[in-house]
Amino acid sequence: MEEFDVCIIGGGIAGASVAYHTAPHARVIVLEREAHVGYHSTGRSAAVYSPQYGSRLNRQLTAIAGDFLRDPPAGFAAARLLNPRGFLALGHDEDLEARREAITDAEATGNPLVPLTPSEVQSLIPFLKPESASWGLLDTHAEDMDVEAMLQGYLRGARAHGAVLRTNAEVLSLTREGGVWRIEGPDLAIRAARLVNAAGAWADPLAQLAGAQALGVIPHRRTAFICDVPAGTDLTRCPMTVWANESFYFKPEAGRLLGSLAEENPTVPGDPQPDELDVAIAVDRIEHVLCFEIKKLVRAWTGLRSFVHDRDPVSGYDPVTPGFYWHGALGGYGIQTSAALGAFAAHQLLERPLPASFAEAGIEAAQLAPARLQPHV
């Protein structure tokens, strides 16, 4: 039996960021079932940091995380983690309600969006059909994220403080004996006082393994693809471009275009593969607004975005099962909020007062606590 203070189950961005912030003060192990970290949702994102995306709480957490991502500690990453991109919402006259909502939401967070005329939109996206949008709203603070550098930075930092990372380490049994968790799987025998459930789409089944009640963490499929663009297509100023009501989006990706239907279809935990119809509909919608045909798809993939019913993240101890810490339901915001949520979880696990940035943003632990989702408690 190996002994640790904190055992984190899940080697995605959630588990890695908690390990990073916890390891300087405790003996930490991260267990990942797959051969590689980041294999599931974390490796399948659109890699956009958008402070105007998601619920109010997600936006506040994204803003806090931005301070870390813009200026990470020395040695965290070899290059910048964020690079200017912009986030442009586009729509037509029939989508004016969506426009009003976006303006109101942005004003509430103190970062107003910049209204663009159709010709200003055209100057950013010269390959957009001019008649396809009558309004645009630009968030100039949105950036591209280097997700792999973030993941590796968190894990490298955790290891530098003695944390252990084990891949090919599937947890199959969780039992509590004498106030300590016993964590077992093939070639795994670990004891730890505290368990962190960072299992992403598998959060509920993992909790049930520990005898805790499921919270209703539901994974939702989202498919994306990368396609070639005709030679000479000017992608240099093209922002992350999202159609009103999030009916599809596209953004430049290393000289090509990344596109998505932005669908949100509930499913079960697993390793989802793209559905040909979802890809075809996405291609059709995106082609409809562009001046060129999408002739060659380089690749397509599907990932899971996991939500609880109020769509806010969960980070806190289970109210009934001792030493069992939930950290998930990160939806479509898990990368951009990771630096803030990882710090939040570490402070809770280490029983330290939260950093001032949380109080300044008006964030209280109860907003993230799993107890809010368990009406029987």
- Residues in contact with ligand FAD by the rule CB under 6 A: 9-15, 31-34, 39-42, 44-48, 170-171, 198-202, 206, 222, 224, 260, 303-305, 328, 330-336
> Least CB distance from residue 240 to ligand FAD, whole Å?
8
**Residue 325 · residue 218 · CB < 8 Å:** no
- H helical segments located in 290-364: 338-349, 356-360
Both tokens of 28, joined, read: 């930490």
Instruction: Give me the least distance between CB of 131 and ligand FAD, in Å please.
Output: 28
Contact 262, 246 (CB under 8 A): yes
Q: Which is nearer to ligand FAD, 135 or 158 (CB)?
A: 158
Residue 89 token pair: 């919402």
The CA distance from 76 to 82, in Å, is 13
- The CB-based long-range contact list for 204-207 (8 Å cut-off, 24+ gap) reads 205/269, 206/9, 206/171, 206/174, 207/318, 207/321, 207/324, 207/326
Residue closer to ligand FAD, measured from CB, 116 or 304: 304
* Total residue count of the chain as it appears in this document: 377
Least separation in angstroms between residue 227's CB and ligand FAD is: 15
Q: Are 5 and 192 in contact (CB under 8 A)?
A: yes
Residue (of 66, 59, 62) closest to 82 by Cα position: 66
3-state DSSP assignment of residue 233? coil
Residue with smaller CB distance to ligand FAD, 13 or 195: 13
- CA separation for the pair 290, 74 (Å, rounded): 42
- 265 CB-contact burial (10 Å; exposed 0-12 / middle 13-18 / buried 19+): middle
Tell me whether residue 331 or residue 370 sits nearer to ligand FAD (CB atom). 331
Task: Choose between 136 and 272: whose C-beta lies nearer to ligand FAD.
Answer: 272
Nearest approach, Cβ of 50 to ligand FAD (angstroms)? 7
Q: How far is the CB of 135 from ligand FAD (least distance, A)?
A: 23
Spatial CB neighbours of 373, under 8 Å, sequence gap ≥ 6: 215, 216, 308, 309, 310, 314
CB 118 within 8 A of CB 136: yes
CB of 369 to ligand FAD, least distance (A): 17
Q: Could you give the CA distance from residue 49 to residue 41 in angstroms, rounded to a whole number?
A: 16
CA-closest candidate to residue 266, choices 313, 311, 305, 300: 305
Least Å distance, CB 183 to ligand FAD, is 9
If the CB atoms of residues 122 and 213 are measured against ligand FAD, the closer one turns out to be: 213
Task: Return the number of the residue (221 or 347) whose C-beta is nearest ligand FAD.
Answer: 221
Residue 184 CB, nearest approach to ligand FAD (Å) = 11
Our CB check for ligand FAD shows the closer of 202 and 248 to be 202
Q: How far apart are CA 186 and CA 337, in angstroms?
A: 33
- Helix, strand, or coil (residue 111): coil
CB of 117 to ligand FAD, least distance (A): 27
Complex with ligand FAD: residue 91 or 274, whichever CB lies closer: 274
